[in-house]
Structure formats: C-alpha cells, structure tokens
Structure 1
C-alpha cells in the first residue's frame, strides 16, 4: 500500500494554497531583484534627481560621477561587494569606457554626450563607465542572492573566445561589416544546453541561460531609453527631439550582458557553482 502523502504536500495541491505559495515566491523574487539592482537603481534615481544644469555650480555629469563613486565605495565598505568583485567591476568600467571613447569619436559618432563636464576624458564623461559596471554589479549581486548555479556551461576557453569576439565586433563592424548575427547564432549554439538554476525563496527554479541574458538585455534597453529621455546622452536620431532607442540595441545589450557574464564566471567563488561537462 503506497504511503500517505504529507500534509504539506496535500495543502500545496489546493489551488488557493498553491496560488499563495507562488505569490510569496514572487514577492521574494522581486525583493531579491531589487537588491541585486542596488547600484543601478541608486544611480538612475540620481539621474532623475540631479537637474540638467547641475548642483551648486557643479555640472551634472560631474555630480553623477561623484555619486557613482560614493555608491561604489559604500557597497565595498558595507560588504555588499568584495575586493575581488570590485576588480571585476573595474574591468567592466574600463572596457565600457574604451567602447564609449570609440563610439563617440569624431570618425564614428554613434552617440554623443552634449553637456559640459570637467570630468570628460576624450569627450566622454567618466561616469559613463559606471553604467557598464552596473551590469556587472547586478550579475554579481544576483549570483549571491539567488544562490545561482549554472549547468552545462561551455568550456571556459570557448566562452572567453566568444566574449572577446563579441567585444571586438562592437569596434570592427564599422570597418569590416557587422557579424553580430553570426556571433549571436554561435553564442546560441555554444550555450544551447546551459541552464541557470536560481532560488527565489525555497524552491529551485531553472531557465535557459540564453533566455536570462536576453531578458536582462531588454531591461537594460528600457533603462537606456530612460537615460536618453533625460538627456544623459543622445543618438543621432534623438538630437532634434527624443525618440525611442532603436530596438536593435536590445540585441547589442544582450550580447554585452553575455560578455559581462563570462567575466563574472571567472571569479573564484563563482567558478565553484559553474558546472562544465567533462
């Protein structure tokens, strides 16, 4: 005779209890997402609050740089990020700033930063690198809060080559053609079996890694629309009047998130949660 099901199991089978459990899990998921977005959330709150004319005679871009540095220092001092994680975030900053300098150069002019600032270097305000660092910070925080694990991750050398190719294509497509579509197809094949396992509350959930990266890219695209709406930077088609950022930027951000993800997976404490098939 089969054993009697546990009382908790029976309770969860009831539609009302099941819906309640899902709502509780959704609440925990939302709270953890908000905590993971701490750096990005505080920074973009500053974008909303700092007037375009600046504060106390200090230009807006310079004020935002000071705020970003303050947020980063606070997260390090409170233990929300470790020194090793800070090194990875600084790498995001450097890679992002290099991309900004190239994209805003006179020969390319993909976008521009129209306002004056003392902290501009080669025409790019230094705070811009923190926008890329915010992506890395989110991934690092989410990894810890959701107890992330990755199953069927490709070999690290393959992932590294793909990330390098994606980054280089952001530069080279202006001269030798845009291979984004081919690289995206290659990335989908490389990560086809990869699954991310996360725990919003008590139950482990899983999702294809590629889907997770695309979803993150979408929310960054929404944030980019917010940034351009408030005049932090502008694309050529937005110089006369604001317009929605081209949807193609969604795919670009998704690929950049994959590059950021690859850097994070090389952190020592993260590697222990990444399963690479033999």
Structure 2
C-alpha cells in the first residue's frame, strides 16, 4: 500500500504547491463574499491581493524571473480576451471598481496568469519533459487559430471542433513525462490537456458562484456553468501549454549555444596544446 500512497501523496503535494496562485485567488474571492472593506470595491481589493501575491512569490524565489515574464504575458493576453468577450456580452463584471478597463477589472487577467503560474510551477516541480513535441510550424499556427477562434466565432462559424481534431492529429505522438519520487512516468499530452481543462471548468463553477464574473444565464440566480464551456477551457489550456512549451524550448536553445561554444573552444585549446 505504501508503494501506492506515498507517490500519490507526493504528486498531490506538488500539484497543490503548483496551484498556490489560483488557490489564493479563490480564497480571496470567498473573503470578498463575506467581508466588505469600507471604500474599497471588491474588484480593487482582489487586484491588490493578486499584485501582492505575485510580488511575494517572485521575491521569495517561488517564481523565477523568466516565469514572471511568462505570467505577465498571460495577463496581457487574458485582459485582451476579457475586454473582447465582455464587449460582446459573453459575460460581465457587474460591480463597480476603480481598476476596471473597458468594463473589465484588471484582476481578471491574473486568473489567466494563474494558469501560466500553475504550468510553470508544475513543469519545474515535476521535472516535466516533452517527447515528440511537434515543430513550431505546426504548434504556433494552431495556438494562434485557437485563440482567434474565441473572438471570430461571434461573426463566422465556430471551428473549435475542427481545431480539436487537428489537435489530436498534431499531438498524436506527443507524450509528457514527469517525475514522482525520482520515478519517471508518462502520459499522452492530449489526456493532460483534458484533465487540466476539467479542473479549470470545475474552478470556473466555484469562481462564478463567488461572483468573480457572471454569465448571462446567471444574472437572476447562480446556475452551473454549461458543459460546453469545458471545450473552451480545453482549448485554452492548449494555447497556454503551447506558449509555455515554446518559450521553454527557446530558452533551452539559448542555453545550449554558450555551452556548445564553451565546449568547442575547450576542444580547440586542447588541439593547440
């Protein structure tokens, strides 16, 4: 039994630590549900908490400088998508706040950034590697098409299912490996996409219940988020994963160049000696 429970508990602990940023956001949402800070709107309080959390995680070493850059990129991508979606009535932020941009509170970008934080933390904590990762000529256009489809489906046909089919074709041979107590384990990448997307969909139900945002069908009373949103989160996770993976590959290539240069110069020095 110990051979089963010990790795499971270790994996659960690493996952929980990787989810620290999202958990703080949810706890903050719950706090604003029951506590009212005088003269400070909830959206502004949440923005302050998210900024403070980001600062502490960086200064404490929980997040590296490169990871912070990725998280800031996700914040900008998330805000852009939020402004577009709110403008088209997909959901709304009905409360007032000083830190709202075009009807979107700035703290909302941290909800997307928290997904990037989870991916970066889990990548490092579980020593994630990708086997059979497709070339950028396939992954980059796919990620861009998925992101743009979130916007263009308001005007033209929603091609999410076409993109999902392409996903399984492009990543058919891709496997993610991760270590639990020094033991390397494997999982098809598409399965990890679905599992992360499902947990985000579950978190979305909690977030809307706590008033983080509001779908049109939740204005009168809260109802569970439709299963159709699961496909949206599934695709959003893919975009997030592609961005993180490509940035890590770029960093790895940059680190290899000085190493190769140093090795070549060392070999040249030996030949001259």
Structure with the bigger percentage of helix: 2
1:145 deviation in Å? 0.4
Identify if the C-alpha distance between structure 1 residues 172 and 258 changes in structure 2 by more than 3 Å, giving closer, same or farther: same
Measured in 2, the distance between the counterparts of 1:84 and 1:209 equals: 24
1:87 deviation in Å? 1.2
Q: Paired residues, what number?
A: 253
Measured in 1, the distance between the counterparts of 2:34 and 2:100 equals: 16
Moved more, 200-209 or 131-140: 200-209
Measured in 1, the distance between the counterparts of 2:188 and 2:10 equals: 21
Task: Give the structure 1 partner of residue 28 of structure 2.
Answer: 46
Measured in 2, the distance between the counterparts of 1:41 and 1:194 equals: 30
Contact 1:113 1:124 in 2 (8 A): yes
1:53 deviation in Å? 6.6
1:266 deviation in Å? 2.4
Task: Give the structure 1 partner of residue 154 of structure 2.
Answer: 174
**TM-score, length-normalised on structure 2?**
0.89
Q: 1:113 aligns with which of 81, 85, 93?
A: 93
Q: 2:134 aligns with which of 154, 161, 170?
A: 154
Within a 5 Å distance, the mapping from 1:1-278 to structure 2 comes to 19-51=1-33, 54-105=36-87, 108-268=88-248, 272=252
Measured in 2, the distance between the counterparts of 1:41 and 1:259 equals: 22
Structure 1 segments, 4+ long, off by >6 Å, are none
1:271 deviation in Å? 5.8
Gaps of 5+ in 1: 1-18, 274-278
**TM-score, length-normalised on structure 1?**
0.88
- The 3-state SS of whatever aligns with 1:265 is helix
Gaps of 5+ in 2: 254-273
Measured in 1, the distance between the counterparts of 2:117 and 2:250 equals: 14
1:151 deviation in Å? 0.3
1:56 deviation in Å? 2.9
